[in-house]
Amino acid sequence: MRQQPYHHGDLRRALLTEAVTVIGESGPHAVSLRDLARRTGVSHAAPQHHFGDKAGLLTAIAAEGFELLARSLESAGDDLLDAGVAYVRFATSHKAHFEVMFTPALYHADSPEVAAPRERAGEALAARAPKRREARLAAWSIVHGFATLWLSGALTDIGDDPAAAARPVIRLLLR
């Protein structure tokens, strides 16, 4: 006779989705386990069962993010320019994941749960990048910098399609 069944069905997935929404709107610091529980209609301690602690929730988001990034890069083809644009597109269209992924103080960055997909994304990137270390660093830096600058609101005069705006910028390095 209760409105919500005792077992949610897929609470873990629901919490992750809700968390990504909140982070995307207000940043990682704005997320609260109790608030997520309220939004999902469960008790205040339910999230702890699935993630252990708050860092565990963010670890799951980071892992999912590296997985998604790896897939994005893999499906971008072998061209370095296209891969770079795909990197920017991923970052700006998965704001929440990206912010968490590169803020290791927020989660269990050394957990195997996140190390595996991170390595997979790293390999996808390395396979399309130049062989010389400096050139590889330059390529990663320019796309990562463009993405983070856009995410932090420093690039307002660029239009509403950051991935498209990134293409001619990246080309300057690859010429």
Choose the contact partner of 145 out of its own copies, DNA, none; CB within 5 to 8 A by kind: its own copies
Binding mask 117-156 for its own copies (x = CB under 8 A): -----------------xx-xx-xxxxxxxxxx--xxxx-
Structure tokens at 93: 């269209």
Structure tokens at 22: 């909140």
Is residue 62 a contact partner of residue 101, using CB atoms and an 8 Å limit? yes
Tokens 């600058």, residue located: 149
**Is 25 a binder of DNA (CB under 7 A)?**
no
**Interface with DNA (CB under 7 A), residue from 13, 25, 26, 45:** 45
Near DNA in 48-67, by CB under 7 A: 48-50, 52-55
* Interatomic CA distance for residues 84 and 151, integer angstroms: 16
Angle at 97 (CA atoms; ends 77, 42), nearest 5 degrees: 135
Binding-site ranges for DNA (CB under 7 A): 2, 4-9, 11-12, 31-35, 37, 42-46, 48-50, 52-55
